[in-house]
Amino acid sequence: MRLNKYISEAGICSRREADRLIESGRVTVDGKKAVPGMQVTEQSDVRIGKKRIGSRSGKVVLVVNKPVGIVCTEDMRERRNIIRFLDYPVRVTYAGRLDKDSGGLLIMTNDGDLINAMMRARHRHEKEYKVTVNKPVTDEFLRRMSEGVRITDKEKKLDVVTLPCKTKKLGKYTFSIILTQGINRQIRRMCGACGYKVTELLRVRVLNIKLGGLKSGEIRKLTEQELKELYEQTKGRQDEGAGGAS
């Protein structure tokens, strides 16, 4: 098995990210620095830094209701990172980030191919959010948001018009929005461009997986039906991702 696939199937990261780890010199195999494209077996001693990793014994896919303030990072120097917060007995990581100031649905898994498929921007997976803003939601505001908003950030070298999306008024200060792209802090930037400020942001759905009644900080495993539908919706994309990285 190629090393990048081995690392991916251990639930550490996608194959592309595994290649970056290897190229950075952080990965060793049987005590020697790894090189891109090398082959390993189940008996190989594969390590990232000092930590030994092993191939997964079974797929784990979880839904987490991430609390506001928890950071989606694997950097253990961050005291409030999602890995430490979850403290799950099987090594899992996130398939799509939520920023520190946002809460709601986060999919955590040890299936690297699933992560790879879900993270590819061109696949345009639906993500639905409930948003609370500081001013009354108007029809004009929702129209501008749904048609696409120009967002710029000189520091981040960002200048883009967002893709058309679906919006719906939920209350005087709340609305729902369904995105198919993943620009950093996209909803906050879009609202800001329209003269609004987000006061609360909750992700309630990714593809077929819904947050439902899961309380903040709680986790659950996906049901068999949810898993079946999720893998059906990403299967071709996983195959595509695997072919491109091998």
| Per-residue pLDDT tens over the stretch 92-108 | 899 989 999 999 999 99
| Tens-place pLDDT, residues 222-246 | 998 998 899 888 875 554 443 333 2
| Tens-place pLDDT, residues 112-145 | 888 888 887 566 899 999 999 999 999 999 999 9
Residue 43 pLDDT: 74
Domain boundary among 11, 27, 53: 53
Residues 110 and 44 in one domain: no
Residues 75 and 180 in one domain: no
Higher pLDDT, 44 or 173: 173
Residues 48 and 80 in one domain: no
Domain count within the chain: 3
Residues 111 and 224 in one domain: yes
Q: What is the CATH number of the domain that holds 36?
A: 3.10.290.10
| Tens-place pLDDT, residues 2-55 | 998 888 877 677 888 889 999 999 999 999 999 999 998 867 889 999 888 865
Residues 167 and 142 in one domain: yes
Residue 58 pLDDT: 66
Q: What is the CATH number of the domain that holds 133?
A: 3.30.70.1560
Residue 226 pLDDT: 93
Residues 157 and 86 in one domain: no
Q: Domain range spanning residue 95?
A: 61-121+213-245
Residue 241 pLDDT: 41
Residues 37 and 103 in one domain: no
Q: What is the CATH number of the domain that holds 236?
A: 3.30.70.580
Report CA-CA distances (Å) from 115 to 48, 103, 122, 165, 232. Answer: 19, 20, 14, 23, 14
Residue 116 pLDDT: 85
Sign of CA dihedral 76, 120, 89, 36: negative
Could you give the residue numbers annotated as active site?
A: 99
Amino acid at 128: E
pLDDT band at 170 (very low <50, low <70, confident <90, very high): very high
| The token pair that represents 202 in the structure block | 């909750």
Q: Which residues pair with 129 in a beta bridge?
A: 177, 203
Residues 221 and 117 in one domain: yes
Residues 101 and 133 in one domain: no
Residues 110 and 223 in one domain: yes
Residues 106 and 218 in one domain: yes
Residues 173 and 67 in one domain: no
The CA-based angle 91-95-99, given to 5 degrees, is 105
